[in-house]
Structure 1
Amino acid sequence: MELDPGLTALRPLGGFFVLRTGGCPAEPAAPPLDQTYAGQLTGVQTDALAARIGVVADRLRVREPRVCASLAQQGLAARLWSAALACAALYGRTPDLAPRLLRWDAAATAPDDLWLTEVRPLPGDADALADTVLHAHLEPLGEALTRRYGVAPGLLWGNAASALAGAARLLDRWARANARADVAERAAGLTDDLFTHPLLRGTGVRSGAAFHRRSCCLYYRVPGGGVCGDCCFTRPPGSSPRAASG
């Protein structure tokens, strides 16, 4: 099945998997992601990293930049993995998500946050997914967040792994609910292969669809946040067992 210009096979999966495609965004201030990662913006373009971190801070009522940077990165990683993995499982191909082709409206929510200006087909194997998500996006994004906000690289790779595991679970759930065992099987195989990649291999332990990471995304530092289901902590650091259970 060939990629179509609108990536229409993604639409039934819901907005989190969808990419807007074609032409240029109506909002010229949304820069290509390569410029965002490098910090090479023109006078009319928004600093999308700072903008997204501000959005996270406002929505979650947290003012620690390191926490906001971690959560912003995990959200973008989840969007990239979701679209790429779903295309590979549904089409057998994945679109070229080169940062220069992808624009990010940091103030928007899915599916309006990402706009792929041109659909160029690539192979749908794990190597292509690693190249287009891990290397093209998550490496330069992580370097920028570590440089600007002091977020530990290990934490960010844990986020990347958690985002991949979450995208795979959602895709598997959709495939099984819609009698698409072929999609579930392809997605599972791709996810297994991706977790053997050196950048993801040591990030946690997988058991079926479950993933238990070795790092923490810092969500527990959000007011009322607690710990995530795949967290390395069983309760927020510094809390007593009684407080955690009560």
Structure 2
Amino acid sequence: MALDPDLIALRPLGGFFALRTVPEGARPPGQPLTEVYGAGGPGVQRDAQDAPDALDTRLALVGDRLRVTEPRVRASIAQQGLAARLWSPALACAALYGEVPDLGPLHWDATASAPDDLWLTAVRPLPGDALADTVLSTHLAPLGDTLRARCGIASGLLWGNAASALAGAARQLDHWARANGRRDVAERTAALTDALFARPPLHGTGVRAGTAFRRRSCCLYYRVPGGGVCGDCCFTRAPGSSPRAASG
């Protein structure tokens, strides 16, 4: 079926998969997401006196919520969360509709949580095989460039985050499809995810077995106070911890 203006098929999947659309004549919250990257990319010099922008705001929110001050950790966790919010509706649209919306017109409210963080100002359908470009090329690649320039975070870590977010979205979508008798959606989800992991920059980011995924990098969550290693982490316990502490 063709994409509808309100993306109704996404609603049963839950808030993380939802994508708000803007009523005609209404002004979306936040700002165009692509402008967020342009405000701090590799070619843009930022001084200490520059006013905080939307990305600074999100990094500060993440840091305050998790009680972490290390810029790389803030950047990693914020980027992985945004990657999951981008992959989830895009993958679901491709699996349910056979089309994806052009995500170029996305607005982002850096202070909001799902589903009120992302707003699509125009639903412009693209073929399902445009999934990689509309997520990776339009958003995750420039976001990574900006975070590397601003926070000094490694590229491999960020692409590992993107892969982990994709695997998580695919796993949740597969679970919903099987629970609701939509084997066709589960099969399309698997095929789409296989194709994405077969191409750079996601190829080689981890090992997959069905819907399970183990990445070859670490998102640094273990550096959050009270944090540990994630279920798909390359580490079995936090670096620097003893086996006794990890099991105790």
Q: Measure the CA separation in 1 of the matches of 2:173 and 2:69.
A: 33
Q: Tell me which residue corresponds to 1:5.
A: 5
Is 1:47 the counterpart of 2:58? The answer is no
Contact 1:31/1:46 (<8 A) preserved? no
* Runs of 5+ unmatched residues, structure 2: 41-50
Q: Tell me which residue corresponds to 1:141.
A: 143
Q: 1:118 aligns with which of 122, 126, 129?
A: 122
> How far has the Cα of 1:46 moved from its partner?
6.7
Contact 1:105/1:112 (<8 A) preserved? yes
Q: How do residues 60-209 of structure 1 correspond to structure 2 at under 5 angstroms? A: 60-98=66-104, 101-125=105-129, 128-209=130-211
TM-score by length of 1: 0.93
What amino acid maps onto 2:72 in structure 1? Answer: R
What amino acid maps onto 1:73 in structure 2? Answer: Q
* Runs of 5+ unmatched residues, structure 1: none
Contact 1:157/1:200 (<8 A) preserved? yes
Helix, strand or coil at the partner of 1:199: coil
* CA displacement 1:86-131 (0-9 Å, x = unmatched): 0000001100001xx1111011000000000000000012xx1110
Helix, strand or coil at the partner of 2:208: strand
TM-score by length of 2: 0.93
> How far has the Cα of 1:162 moved from its partner?
0.3
Q: How do residues 205-244 of structure 1 correspond to structure 2 at under 5 angstroms? A: 205-244=207-246
Q: Measure the CA separation in 2 of the matches of 1:225 and 1:122.
A: 40
What amino acid maps onto 2:171 in structure 1? Answer: R
Count of aligned pairs between the two proteins: 236
What amino acid maps onto 1:183 in structure 2? Answer: V
Q: Measure the CA separation in 1 of the matches of 2:170 and 2:28.
A: 31
Q: Measure the CA separation in 2 of the matches of 1:207 and 1:214.
A: 14
What amino acid maps onto 2:99 in structure 1? Answer: R
Q: Measure the CA separation in 2 of the matches of 1:106 and 1:173.
A: 29
Contact 2:28/2:121 (<8 A) preserved? no
Task: Detail structure 1 runs of 4+ shifted over 3 Å in the superposition.
Answer: 23-27
Q: Measure the CA separation in 2 of the matches of 1:55 and 1:87.
A: 29
> How far has the Cα of 1:25 moved from its partner?
3.9
